[in-house]
Amino acid sequence: MLPTWAGLLLSAVPALVVAQSANLQGSVGALTSLEDKRATKTCDITDYGAVADGSTDISTALNDAYTDCSSGGVVVVPPGDFALATWVTLSGGSAWALQLDGIITRAGTEGGNMIFIEHGIDFEMFSSTGKGAMQGLGYEFHLDGDIEGPRLLRFYDMASFSVHDFALVDAPAFHFSMDTCDSGEVYNLVIRGGDSGGLDGIDVWSTNIWIHDVMVTNKDECVTVKSPSKNILVENIYCNWSGGCAIGSLGEDTDITDITYRNVYTWMSNQMMMIKSYGGSGTVSNVVMENFIGHRNAYSLDIDQYWSSMDPLPGDGVQLTGITISNWTGREADGLERGPIKIMCADGAPCTDIVITDFAMWTKTGDSQWYSCQSAYSDDASFCLQAGDGGTSYPATTTTVYTAPTGYKAPKMRGDLSTHTWSTTASIPIPTFPASFFPGAMPYSALAAGS
């Protein structure tokens, strides 16, 4: 029996210890408190020559402040409008923090990463007021169809870190990437990009990362796990007119395991969740996708190992095994055009142990919808899955249904955008924070913007 929404809303706010028990191994986040870091040293960039005039390059001041506080302390970008024309790489720090209370606006034109933080441990990047932001002015690139500009923020080889309570806006390319990191916590973020592909919200290929209470507006990835990744927990995610969440794109030697997406709300997006590949090799295993709510999305559950947007790669296909989908509700845009369950597995590596339970979605347009599967197996045949242990491919089979499932109705968020007015031709304003990121679930940590 499907749970009532009253019951789900109560269960949507589990204790912190429960949240961290899913996939995560040990503690995540910065090791030293902000109070201790501030007591060690404070390095305000305006004491190093930075000027809040919106035009003077702060790169030298930011680098100098970091040099003085990189072994313990807090680098402060105070309230005000600051320009960054030369990208900064902050490498090798420990027990330090970057307090972003002002707005850093892109003033340079190079590719790469506006702020690149690497090879460090015990780091925290945050806004104490919730008003801090990085403004990429990506539309200046996108006017000519160019998405080869810089990322706003990139971490590489970082351990025991926290990122929270600021906005990332209008990236020329991706907004935030975490590459080969460990034991990080990312939360209370608002990301708003242009209505175009190639402008990902959060991309992570790392180990032991907790991403929660994040809202993304763009037209590409919302929060995406890439290879290699292990022990990733993603929850309380608000894809508010976005591309939707995903795992992939997957290629050769894929290695992804122990991933949980939980409490994901998706509005007017490309999909609620997608696993995408074409050829390749390796494995994706032990993935849980639970408590998903969707409204007016093109695709809902979309596992596509013949994804037409990528060129075929060498290999028989990535092996998907142990994929559990549970408690999905809401309404897709048009279930006859794009059914709510599409599982197209590689014939050379059929999916095994695919489990779908408590799945109740219905079409907003029309009076029917379909479920389609190819080379996908479960212990018990359900929807379009075949029963068995896999090993043998089979062609796509489609089941069309004409009766709405019981319990498909689901709540909506008050902040759902009525239109995506942030195209690629004008500056995108810095958004405000929603009160919550999933119906009935308050943020695990209080929003700085609400303090």
Per-residue pLDDT for 180 more than 60? yes
CA pair distance 235, 441, nearest whole angstrom: 10
Q: CA–CA separation, 280 vs 287, rounded Å? A: 19
**Residue 153 pLDDT > 80:** yes
Residue 5, pLDDT above cutoff 60: no
Q: Is the pLDDT of residue 25 over 70?
A: yes
**Averaged pLDDT for residues 90-96:** 98
pLDDT band, very low/low/confident/very high, at 143 (cuts 50, 70, 90): confident
User: Is residue 13's pLDDT more than 90?
Assistant: no
In whole angstroms, give the CA distance from residue 48 to residue 63. 9
Q: Given pLDDT bands bounded at 50, 70 and 90, which one contains residue 22?
A: low
> Could you give the C-alpha distances from 36 to 40, 73, 74, 93, 250, in angstroms and in order?
6, 8, 10, 16, 42
Write down the pLDDT at residue 298.
97
For residue 422, the model assigns a pLDDT of 76
Is residue 97 a contact partner of residue 121, using CB atoms and an 8 Å limit?
no
Q: Which positions are annotated as active-site residues?
A: 220, 295
d(Cα 150, Cα 136) in Å, to the nearest integer?
Answer: 8
Beta pairing class for 369-374 and 397-401: antiparallel
Cα separation, 172 vs 152, whole angstroms: 8
pLDDT at residue 451 in the model: 58
Q: How many CA atoms are closer than 13 Å to the CA of 349, on its beta-carbon side?
A: 19
The percent of residues above 90 in pLDDT, for the chain, comes to: 88
The model's pTM: 0.94
Q: What does the chain come to in residues?
A: 451
First vs last Cα of the chain: how many Å apart? 41
Range of lowest pLDDT (77-91, 143-157, 172-186, 205-219): 143-157
DSSP 244-311: EEEEEEE-TTEEEEEEEEEEEEEES-S-SEEEEEBB--EEEEEEEEEEEEEEEES-SEEEETB-TTS-
Give the span between the Cα atoms of 439 and 12, in whole angstroms. Answer: 8
At 215-274, the pLDDT tens digits run 999 999 999 999 999 999 999 999 999 999 999 999 999 999 999 999 999 999 999 999
Tens-digit pLDDT profile for residues 275-328: 999 999 999 999 999 999 999 999 999 999 999 999 999 999 999 999 999 999
DSSP 57: B
| Omega before 314 within 30 of 0, i.e. cis | no
Residue 424 has pLDDT above 60, yes or no: yes
Q: Looking at residue 14, what is its pLDDT?
A: 35
pLDDT for the residue 409: 97
How do residues 360-414 score in pLDDT, each as one tens digit?
A: 999 999 999 999 999 999 998 899 999 999 889 999 999 999 999 999 999 999 9
Q: Which domains does the chain have, with CATH numbers?
A: 1-26+227-415 (2.160.20.10), 31-219 (2.160.20.10)
